[in-house]
C-alpha cells in the first residue's frame, strides 16, 4: 500500500507561487508515495463551539470532519507556504486549529511533516516557516533536519509553466522531499 501524503498550500491566491512549488513537489516523491493536494479554502473559520460538548446547537461543519479524516488517513503532511506579515497566512493557521481539536483525537498528532516556505522577497518566508514549526511542535510531529528549505525570490525560480527553471533548486527540493519520504517510512515501517 502506498504512503498517503497530504500536501497543504498556505495561500489562497489563484496565481500562488506556493501552489506552483507544491505542484513541483508532487512530482518529486519517490515510488510508493501518493501525494495529494488537500484544499483548505472552504474550511469555515475555526470556532470551538463546534467542538465544545456543552454547545449543543452548533453542529461540527462537514468540512472540518472531512479535513480531519483526510489528515488521519495520511502517513504524512507536506506544507508549502507563503508568509504574511512575518507569520503563516490565516488560511493555514485556521487549518492547523481545525486539525488540533478535539483534544481526544488530534489529527496532527505524531505525523511526519515536511515544510517549504517561500517568498517573493529574499528571506524565503523564514518567519512563516519558524511560526509553522512552532505551532506544529505542540503535536509531537517529526520532520527532516537540516537543511531546511526557504525559497527566496520564488518567482525567479519558476518558468512560465510553473516548473523549477534550474537544476540547483530542483535538486535541493528533491533532496528535501526524499529526506521527508525517509522520515515517513521510518515512522511507519509496516508498508
Ligand atoms: C497580506 C500580505 C502580507 C505579506 N507579508 C509578507 C511577509 O511578511 N514576508 C514576505 O516575505 N512577503 C510577504 N508578502 C508578500 C508575499 O511573499 C507574496 O505576496 C507572495 O507572492 C505570496 O505567496 P503566494 O504567491 O504563494 O500567494 C505579503 C503579502 C501579503 C498579501
**Taking the domains of the chain in order of start, what are their residue ranges?**
3-187
Best of 14, 83, 127 for a ligand 1 pocket test (most atoms within 8 Å of beta carbon): 83
Q: What does the pLDDT read at residue 26?
A: 98
CATH of domain 3-187: 3.40.50.360
Pairing type for strands 3-10 and 149-151 reads: unpaired
DSSP, collapsed to helix, strand or coil, labels residue 83 as coil
Q: What does the pLDDT read at residue 171?
A: 98
How close is the Cα of 119 to the center of ligand 1, in Å?
A: 6
How close is the Cα of 62 to the center of ligand 1, in Å?
A: 30
Model confidence band, residue 68 (pLDDT cutoffs 50, 70, 90): very high
Distance CA 73, CA 146 (A): 27
Buried b / exposed e along 51-89 (16+ C-beta atoms within 10 A): beeeeeeeeebeebeebbebbeebbbbbbbbbbbeebbb
Model confidence band, residue 138 (pLDDT cutoffs 50, 70, 90): very high
Distance CA 131, CA 56 (A): 34
Ligand 1 atom closest to Cα of residue 119 = 17
Distance CA 164, CA 47 (A): 38
Ligand 1 atom closest to Cα of residue 86 = 8
Average predicted confidence (pLDDT) for the chain? 97
* Residue-wise pLDDT tens digits, 148-159: 999 999 999 999
And the C-alpha cell for 23? 505542484
Distance CA 170, CA 58 (A): 46
Distance CA 89, CA 80 (A): 11
Q: What does the pLDDT read at residue 163?
A: 98
Distance CA 103, CA 57 (A): 20
Describe the chain by its helix, strand, coil percentages, rounded to 5.
40, 20, 45
Q: What does the pLDDT read at residue 190?
A: 67
Q: What does the pLDDT read at residue 95?
A: 98
Q: Above 70 in pLDDT, residue 191?
A: no
Would you tell me how many other CB atoms lie within 10 Å of the CB of residue 124?
Answer: 21
Amino acid at each position: 500500500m502506498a504512503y498517503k501524503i497530504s500536501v497543504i498550500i498556505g495561500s489562497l491566491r489563484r496565481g500562488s507561487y506556493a501552489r506552483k512549488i507544491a505542484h513541483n513537489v508532487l512530482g518529486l516523491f519517490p515510488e510508493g508515495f501518493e501525494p495529494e493536494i488537500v484544499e483548505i479554502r472552504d474550511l469555515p473559520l475555526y470556532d470551538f463551539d463546534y467542538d465544545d460538548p456543552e454547545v449543543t446547537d452548533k453542529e461540527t461543519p462537514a468540512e472540518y470532519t472531512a479535513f480531519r479524516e483526510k489528515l488521519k488517513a495520511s502517513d504524512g503532511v507536506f506544507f508549502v507556504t507563503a508568509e504574511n506579515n512575518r507569520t503563516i497566512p490565516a488560511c493555514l493557521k485556521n487549518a492547523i486549529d481545525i486539525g488540533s481539536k478535539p483534544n481526544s483525537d488530534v489529527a496532527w498528532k505524531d505525523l511526519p511533516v515536511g515544510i517549504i516556505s517561500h517568498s517573493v522577497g529574499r528571506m524565503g518566508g523564514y518567519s512563516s516557516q519558524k511560526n509553522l514549526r512552532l505551532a506544529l511542535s505542540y503535536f509531537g510531529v517529526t520532520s527532516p533536519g537540516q537543511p531546511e528549505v526557504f525559497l527566496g525570490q520564488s518567482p525567479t525560480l519558476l518558468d512560465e509553466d510553473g516548473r523549477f527553471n534550474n537544476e540547483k533548486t530542483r535538486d535541493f527540493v528533491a533532496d528535501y522531499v526524499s529526506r521527508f519520504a525517509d522520515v515517513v517510512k521510518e515512522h511507519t515501517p509496516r508498508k
